[in-house]
Amino acid sequence: MNEMPKRAQSKIVDSPAAAVEGIADGATVLIGGFGVLQGWPSSAIAALRARGTRGLTVIANTPGFGPLSPQVLFENGQVRKLVASFGGFPYRMTPAEEMIGRGEVELELVPQGTLVERVRCGGAGIPAFYTPTGVGTEVARGKEAREIGGKPYLLEHAIRADWALVRAAAADAAGNLVFHGSSRNFNPVWAMGARATIAEVDEIVALGDLDPERVVTPGIFVDRVFRSTVRMNRAELIDMIRKLGRQSPEAGAMPGIPPDLMALRAAALFAEGDIVNLGIGLPTQCSNYVHGRAVTLHAENGVLGYGPFPEPGREDIDLYSAGGQLVTALPGASYFHSADAFAMARGGRVDKIVLGGFQVAANGDLANWKAPHQRAGTIGGAMDLAAGGGEIVVLMFHTTKSGASKLVAECTYPLTARACVAHVVTNLALIDVVAGKGFVLREVAPGVSIEEVRQSTAASLHVPEDVREMDFGA
Amino acid sequence: MNEMPKRAQSKIVDSPAAAVEGIADGATVLIGGFGVLQGWPSSAIAALRARGTRGLTVIANTPGFGPLSPQVLFENGQVRKLVASFGGFPYRMTPAEEMIGRGEVELELVPQGTLVERVRCGGAGIPAFYTPTGVGTEVARGKEAREIGGKPYLLEHAIRADWALVRAAAADAAGNLVFHGSSRNFNPVWAMGARATIAEVDEIVALGDLDPERVVTPGIFVDRVFRSTVRMNRAELIDMIRKLGRQSPEAGAMPGIPPDLMALRAAALFAEGDIVNLGIGLPTQCSNYVHGRAVTLHAENGVLGYGPFPEPGREDIDLYSAGGQLVTALPGASYFHSADAFAMARGGRVDKIVLGGFQVAANGDLANWKAPHQRAGTIGGAMDLAAGGGEIVVLMFHTTKSGASKLVAECTYPLTARACVAHVVTNLALIDVVAGKGFVLREVAPGVSIEEVRQSTAASLHVPEDVREMDFGA
């Protein structure tokens, strides 16, 4: 049995070990953090590892990677089940994913926006809700489907966990939490959704020293606070983050234009005033081509109005995009938590979404979360973003390295969303998906012939008379 | 047809009239504000009145009262329907309530927490959700009921409005909003739930001058901002607020103890560490008896940790409790919006709730929102607070002025919640509601006999041997 903390005059405890006291075998534990290297409640995780508690259900956006992340609980055999929106990562294998592959850890893969909303509802006393996210995909399997107002939705159930381990910038004795930069992500919502919340912070301040207007998580949601004992070499960490950002696949000997020009072409699709969300991988490169334009970048970890990568020496490790890159904040930027970020997305406030893809079908179906070689899958926020009805631009190589077309008559990989794609930008062409017509060629990359595009496309390709050479003008 | 604003580089418009441009006959309009005198988007409301738009559906916590409130739209015959948690007020009649009574305005009365959650869901792309609020009451009529995890819930549908008129402290050209004190209430959620949001602010600042950590409503939810043109005489306003606070019914010649001692006795029920919510009317007086105790006051307009009434001259008109009284903020206080306030309540984080009552039944049923003479009804947040499972203390006179008992075998007035009351504090006695037993007398007021209590109670009253004289010790 979990021994929950009693109400105390001060919620401050003096060590990570004291903070995780009472967590019992079989407990359900929400762990805050987005999935990047930094920002985990790392000393609480280390204390939970030292405690040796077993049979845990870990609920987190990702199992993370590296010694600061929940991975250490997996490596130590303490985890029975993972509930996450990323079971693994695109270009690296982790202990958690290996254990999932071997059947040693059960995986429940949940779209990111659904995950955070399920926990918010758990905290808010709402047992279940309907959502458009995941309709027509594997996520819908076994779930009640229902039409409301003529549109299809799925019933999702709330999650209320035993414990939450969250990470914040500062706290007071009442348990009030403030955050820094775009690192709020799941933390404020996880604090709501647990029977007891443990907050690891960089700084503990005197009661009255936090501006009540700046408090993000009111103390009512927090049971214990303690000062983080993990000290990191900032320069080393920044270097590691940079290297991780580069672990995307090589363009190699692909024909047509290189990735930076593909991103430039995709970014030229943005209109003045657009709110744009950029998916992981290639799409993040579009952020290089919006400076000075009236385009606002939205990232689901909780920032609106982020800007270019910081100059060396001016990095802020708490200010990153959903792709994990360190970014800057432009004038007019704002920060928020993941539930609000997905309210914006699902609520239809994001105008354009650039996503990577494994396959796009002629009817606009998109498959981008699980290829056959993957053990776990990486749903992330794509399903929720697609559900919001914004225009989806897929940015991907036209074919796999072995030459198989990624533009297909019908997707053979698991779907992200049905009939959602508007444009596909590849190394060979810009292709629109038009209802009733399918793939319609608009532009060919310089040096690429219409015939090459047709041969690389495993579905019928409409070629209007006005096909142009690719236009990179913004 | 409503003409929605186009995306603009700057969202600043230069007059209330320009701000409400495009609002068409028949539009659905969310109006922010809690229901107290101050804090309405008063110049936007005045501009909408001048515009003469008719057939409006107004969605607001209350129709308000006075020339700064939505009442002016009712008086001017512009409103077809009101969706609110208060259709009227306990001790005064308003034009809206009269029109509701005459059938000129349709009323949809919604529990406060359900109202704000329905709009949040509308903004978040969630079409419907289940809630425990209102189960077993008139609110459940016509709604789908469903057991989830062995408990009964109601299905509630999202609201997405055409327009929102909100009030904030400051904005920038990107539409980011910051608030002041406990006046956030519905405003941040209303901004989420409308197709177009118009923000009336005290101050417009340069882009980059708002701390992104302090932004409550990111600009993505706001379409137009303008500077309020309503200037109020602060001293007059404070005087009016004070007078309204005193418009509760006279204790008159009621026997037993006076209201302040009743409140003192109720407050003595609070335990160390308790989070307590105080309902409108008598219960607000409990706030006079918690100073220096480890009791945290929660108010559903969005403040945790409020303190005593301010000294004259130190009032802040944006810092009030849910009863409308101006209050102070104690060290460790925090502010939040209504959706979070009700997440705390419905989610079970509020330990004790003190409510007024029209009737309490021997099985713990509570009726406190509509007496037969009322045309509209005042649900407020009581149903949501009751749904959270906290201990409910009813603080009321034992009888009506005409001598009818308010402690009854079965409620004849519409229910607030079933079997929810734990304690009843009256001018005559402290009575517990005990499952299987009904009313159990614990304490009699000084000078009151057990027989008097029995005669004033219209249900069987268990009188244990250890009944004491009322204990006011905290």
Whether B45 and B165 have beta carbons less than 8 Å apart is answered as: yes
As annotated, the active-site residues of A are: 300
* Cross-chain residue pair B148–A128, CB shorter than 8 Å: yes
DSSP assignment letter at A101: H
CA distances from A37 to A319, A325, A376, A415 (A): 12, 11, 19, 28
Bridge-based pairing of strands B275-278 and A194-204 is: unpaired
Q: Which amino acid is at B26?
A: G
Count Cβ atoms below 10 Å from residue B371 Cβ, excluding itself.
Answer: 15
Is the predicted pLDDT of residue A350 greater than 80, yes or no? yes
B236 band by pLDDT with thresholds 50, 70 and 90? confident
Is the predicted pLDDT of residue A280 greater than 60, yes or no? yes
H or E element at residue B440: strand B438-444
| Contacts A340 to B, Cβ<8 Å | 218
* Cross-chain residue pair B129–A131, CB shorter than 8 Å: no
Is the predicted pLDDT of residue B251 greater than 80, yes or no? no
pLDDT in tens, B408-423: 999 999 999 999 999 9
* Cross-chain residue pair B151–A332, CB shorter than 8 Å: no
- A334 CA: distance to closest CA in chain B (Å): 4
Structure confidence at residue B250 (pLDDT): 54
Structure confidence at residue A252 (pLDDT): 67
* Cross-chain residue pair A273–B157, CB shorter than 8 Å: no
Nearest CB partner across the interface for A219, out of B131, B207, B334: B334
Nearest CB partner across the interface for B207, out of A130, A332, A343: A332
- B192 CA: distance to closest CA in chain A (Å): 8
Q: Which tokens is B48 given?
A: 């909408």
H or E element at residue A263: helix A259-267
* Cross-chain residue pair B125–A8, CB shorter than 8 Å: no
pLDDT in tens, B71-89: 999 999 999 999 999 998 8
Alpha-helical regions (H) of B147-253: 187-192, 234-245
A250 band by pLDDT with thresholds 50, 70 and 90? low
Task: Verify whether residue B75 is a known catalytic residue.
Answer: no
Interface test with B, best of A213, A214, A223, A351 (most B CBs within 10 A): A213
Is the predicted pLDDT of residue A190 greater than 90, yes or no? yes
DSSP assignment letter at B217: B
A134 band by pLDDT with thresholds 50, 70 and 90? very high
Interface test with A, best of B6, B126, B223, B270 (most A CBs within 10 A): B126
Whether B300 and B322 have beta carbons less than 8 Å apart is answered as: yes
**Average pLDDT score over residue span A39-43:** 96
The pTM for the full model equals 0.96
Pairs of residues, one from chain A and one from chain B, whose beta carbons lie less than 8 Å apart = 184
Q: Which residues are bridge partners to A434 per DSSP? A: A438
- A399 CA: distance to closest CA in chain B (Å): 35
B245 band by pLDDT with thresholds 50, 70 and 90? low
Higher pLDDT, B220 or B6: B220
DSSP assignment letter at A271: P
Structure confidence at residue A92 (pLDDT): 79
* CA-based nearest residue to B400, from B357, B365, B355: B357
Q: Which tokens is A300 given?
A: 């689901």
Q: How many residues does chain A have?
A: 474
Count Cβ atoms below 10 Å from residue B372 Cβ, excluding itself.
Answer: 8
- B332 CA: distance to closest CA in chain A (Å): 5
**Dist. CA B211–CA B291, nearest whole Å:** 33
- Lowest-pLDDT range, A441-445, B5-9, B446-450? B5-9
| Contacts B126 to A, Cβ<8 Å | 117, 129-131, 346
Q: Is A258 helix (H, G, I), strand (E, B) or coil?
A: coil
**Dist. CA A460–CA B99, nearest whole Å:** 63
Strands lying side by side in the sheet with B407-408: B366-367, B359-361, B407-408
Structure confidence at residue A177 (pLDDT): 98
* Cross-chain residue pair B343–A207, CB shorter than 8 Å: no
> What's the maximum distance between 2 C-alpha atoms anywhere in chain A?
75
Q: Which amino acid is at B61?
A: N
Is the predicted pLDDT of residue A248 greater than 60, yes or no? no
Mean pLDDT (chain A, rounded):
94
- H helices then E strands: how many in chain B? 11, 25
* CA-based nearest residue to B281, from B185, B395, B196, B193: B395
Structure-derived torsion over alpha carbons of residues B366, B371, B374, B380, reported in degrees to the nearest 10: -10
**Dist. CA A173–CA A8, nearest whole Å:** 9
pLDDT in tens, B37-54: 889 999 999 999 999 999
**Average pLDDT score over residue span A454-467:** 97
Nearest CA in chain A to B152: A127
Say what the ipTM of the complex is.
0.96
Structure confidence at residue A36 (pLDDT): 78
As to burial, measured by CB atoms within 10 angstroms (0-12 exposed, 13-18 middle, 19+ buried), residue A236 is exposed
B102 band by pLDDT with thresholds 50, 70 and 90? very high
Give percent above pLDDT 70 in chain B.
Answer: 98
Nearest CB partner across the interface for B332, out of A124, A172, A274: A172
**Dist. CA A28–CA B221, nearest whole Å:** 35
Structure confidence at residue A247 (pLDDT): 54
Among residues B97, B117, B200, B300, which one is catalytic? B300
Nearest CA in chain B to A217: B334
Structure confidence at residue B237 (pLDDT): 85
Q: Which tokens is B44 given?
A: 């936007």
**Dist. CA B67–CA B49, nearest whole Å:** 11
**Average pLDDT score over residue span B429-451:** 97
Q: Which tokens is A395 given?
A: 């940015």
